[in-house]
Amino acid sequence: MELFQIISPVCYVVLAPLLGILLAGSDRVITARMQRRKGPPVLQPYYDVRKLMSKERSTVNGVQEFYVLCSLIFMVVTGIMFFAGGNLLLVVFTLTLSAVLLLVAAFSSNSPYAHIGAERELYLIMAYEPMVLFTAIGLYVFSGSFDVYDIATGGTMPILYLLGIFAGLVFILTMKLRKSPFDLGSSHHAHQELVKGTTTEFSGRTLAMVEVMHWYENIFLLGLVALFFFDGTLLGYALGTALCILVYVFEVLIDNSFARMKWQTALKSAWLVALVLGVGNIAVLFAFGG
């Protein structure tokens, strides 16, 4: 086993929250500047979570916090397997399981806002899951392996052969990051009728765990983006890291440039992207011998 397969997941567990704080804080700063506001400090997400952790423990029922905790655990496991170079299909499975557990926590409350938010999140899962699976399949067709380690050290950047799949991944990344126009079930902005939607009934430590889970999730998703530029060289790793930053800034710009769309439009557009870019790119790979 390569040394980095041991170091990388450890670094993910330790550093992902720190990087997630900086990403979330930078998101708020960029958003504020685009709206000609001063905005909060970059470390405001950390201050928010620290304040939530200090509040009195309060949950709607006995299982809500348990479901949220399990969602956080599976998200951390997702990142550990990915950065350890594990099987990409298992990574997709645990990623989806984490999202579903969070929705179960929302459904366990009696709030109509949480229920509607969770239902919309289910629509989004139906929308982006095909493209996530096509991403894994495309990387397999390209490299001949589902192992992240084999893909990242194959000697050739996947982006050279998977440009369509990469574009499709960036498209559904807007859904995974809960950015407009796809922030249907929950949002960090107060520009929709549900406001917090899925997490309406979460408070205190439970809501803090949701925020920490998002920090881990964001770093994992950007790692998936970077994988398209990894080729086993330092140049590839540097290029992948730089593109992660550019993609995230692009998603923030999209978030502040488009109004929220209906779930029907989100579902149809995501499936169309998966069909055209995902299936099309895979078909081209097969046509030219992989």
Q: Tell me what pLDDT residue 118 has.
A: 86
Q: 167 vs 48, 97, 280, CA distance in Å?
A: 34, 24, 12
When pLDDT is cut at 50, 70 and 90, the band that residue 288 belongs to is confident
Q: Tell me what pLDDT residue 193 has.
A: 47
When pLDDT is cut at 50, 70 and 90, the band that residue 212 belongs to is very high
What would the pLDDT profile of 13-72 be if each residue is shown by its tens digit? 999 999 999 999 998 898 888 888 888 899 999 999 999 888 877 777 778 889 999 999
In this predicted model, which residue has the larger pLDDT, 117 or 43? 43
Q: pTM score, two decimals?
A: 0.91
Res 191 pLDDT > 60: no
